[in-house]
Amino acid sequence: MTRRKLVSGNWKMNGSLGALSELDAIAEAAEAHAGVDVAVAVPATLIAPAVARVATLSIGAQDVHAADKGAHTGCISAAMAKEAGARFSIVGHSERRADQGETDADVKAKAETLHARAMQAIVCVGETLDQREAGEAEAVVTAQIAASLPEGATGAWCAIAYEPVWAIGTGRTPTAGDVAAMHGAIRAKLRAMIGAEAEKVRILYGGSVTPDNARELLHVADVDGALVGGASLTAAKFVPIIAAAD
């Protein structure tokens, strides 16, 4: 089946009120390329002003806590993110798995709380360089899918982002053949878990996506879009990636 491409930016711990002016041209590109869904996950402090500035663009959070409220200093709940205007959140990004020690169970719980709040989730999975070189990449990633995929996952609210950890921010990318093989393995795992609904789940590629490699990556089999880090910080770099998806 044909799935709409989704191109989502992830500003990580970057940005300011002044930087929100970049969203103007990004929103214009989203309107010009109506066949592509465009989203940007901004720091929590920028969610509300970003939504106020570009109401037509899907603005999201970069993480949420699994609990609705409580003694979790420094965290943000899905309800809080939604109240600020977020429509979705990334969960399980490799940087949080590594730096904050998040487990597959944590990621699954966060995705489930997003669903409970009628928000969309982008669930991240990916392997390290050591795991790839050991020939374990597909086994590692499919195991993460098995343990991280939320209950009742459907394509309407859940997407998967495959991000080879060794490619994020390094300028290195797998070959198109490697990406096709991994996305195919993810699709097969989804079919085994959720049956026909797997055909509706979008699988994004994330890992040093740039204007130069976007067209090739975005038209690999089973690649339904991209999760873009550094290149999403400016319209000059992000807009060509949106165009490449169309």
How far is residue 207's CA from residue 23's CA, in Å, rounded to a whole number?
22
Residues with a catalytic annotation lie at 93, 163
- Which pLDDT value is given to residue 97? 97
pTM: 0.97
Rounded to 5°, angle at Cα 228 from 115 and 182: 80
Determine the Cα–Cα distance for residues 30 and 24; give it in Å rounded to an integer: 10
Q: String of b and e for 193-220 (b: at least 16 CB within 10 Å)?
A: ebeebbeebbbbbbbbbebebbeebbeb
* Integer CA distances (angstroms), 67 to 49, 197, 201, 232, in order: 25, 27, 25, 29
List the chain residues with pLDDT less than 50.
none
Find tokens 């459907």 and name the residue: 154
Domains defined along the chain, listed by start: 5-237 (3.20.20.70)
Distance, in Å, from the CA atom of 213 to the CA atom of 176, rounded to the nearest integer, reads 10
**79-109: pLDDT as tens digits:** 999 999 999 999 999 999 999 999 999 999 9
Q: 104-116 vs 137-148: helix axis angle to the nearest 10?
A: 40
Give the pLDDT confidence of 107-149 residue by residue, as tens digits.
Answer: 999 999 999 999 999 999 999 999 999 999 999 999 999 999 9
The pLDDT of residue 221: 95
